[in-house]
Structure formats: structure tokens, C-alpha cells
Amino acid sequence: MTWAWLGLGSNIDAERNIRSGVAALRETFEKVVLSPIYRSSAVGFEGEDFINLVVAVQTSMSPAELHDWLREVEDRHGRRRDVPKFSDRVLDIDILIFGDLVADQPELQLPRPEILLFAHVLKPLADLSPEHELPGDGRTLARVWAEAGMDDSGLVLIDPSFLHENDKQA
């Protein structure tokens, strides 16, 4: 079994789609751990705010199998693949880290380069697993965050209770 860290984001009916995406992960993986959840502005385009978090799962899938399964989850949520990279997302789930694997393939780069580019990716990742080392780098995620010099003023910590909204029904 390998731990994989997944980045989740949505800005279309975001609470519902994040809740559903997390539910799909919980139904499939026995061990699922969530980071704090943040709201952030869209990056690279004008759009609604995103909800972002990182989820660590323990899996027996290979990276390719996990990647394909995550695409199926996105597709079930209505993810469109014919739109620009920076655009509205119903549900986006990316493998950020897979164990200690370092890979540079067309369909799968690990660790995912966005970790070092965007606060909405690195901050929840460092929050969740501060002492985990970034594969191929050797620094802990807490140190990567501290040294990245990223502005986190656009990240707003939000209450995770929306993840359990369906649980409140009588």
C-alpha cells in the first residue's frame, strides 16, 4: 500500500462537487485524511472562487491506475476536457505526490509541478503532512512552504461542515 496525496478543486457548485468527490474517495479507499479546506480566487482566468483541499489516501493502485480512476470520477461529475487549462472546473482531482515516486511522463508528472507554483496547492499539502519530504527534493513540505515565499493572503480557511451536509438530514 502506498500513500498518495491528491489535490481537489472546484468552482462550479463547489461545495456539492467537493463533497461528492470526497465521498467517492471515502467509498474507495480505507484510509482517507483531509487537509484544511480553503477558498481561493480563480487563477489564470476570471471566474468564481475555488474550494481547494488535499486528500491523502492509502492505495494499492499503481499511479497509472489511480490517475485513470480519478479521471473517471471527474468525468462522472461532468468534467469537460475540451476547455482551456485555466477555466471553470466542476471537479478537478490531481495526484500531487505518490509515495516517494519521481516521474516525468506525458500523462503523469510526480511530484506534480503545481506544488511549487500555487499557494492553493502547497499550503493545504503542507498543512496535512508538514513532515513529509517532497520526493526528489528532500525538504519537508513545511520547509518547502516556508521557503516558497508564496502569498497566502488569498487563501481563506473555510468550515468543513459542508462535507457532512447530507448527514444532517433526518
Residues 43-61 have pLDDT tens digits of: 776 789 999 999 999 999 9
Q: Which residue has the higher pLDDT, 39 or 79?
A: 39
Judge if the upstream peptide bond of residue 111 is cis by omega within 30 degrees of 0: yes
Q: Is residue 116 predicted with pLDDT exceeding 90?
A: yes
Q: Which domains does the chain have, with CATH numbers?
A: 2-168 (3.30.70.560)
Q: Tell me what pLDDT residue 168 has.
A: 44
Q: For residues 71 and 90, give the distance between their C-alpha atoms in angstroms, rounded to a whole number.
A: 12
Q: What is the pLDDT of residues 12-46, one digit of tens each?
A: 999 999 999 999 999 999 999 999 999 998 777 67
Predicted structure pTM score: 0.92
Q: Is residue 79 predicted with pLDDT exceeding 90?
A: no
The β-bridge partners of 93 are 8
Q: Is residue 170 predicted with pLDDT exceeding 60?
A: no
Q: Percent of the chain at pLDDT above 70?
A: 91
- Grid coordinates representing 1 are 500500500
User: Ramachandran region of residue 42, left (φ > 0), alpha (ψ -120 to 50) or beta?
Assistant: beta
Name, in order, each residue with C-beta under 8 angstroms of 75's C-beta and a sequence gap of 6 or more: none
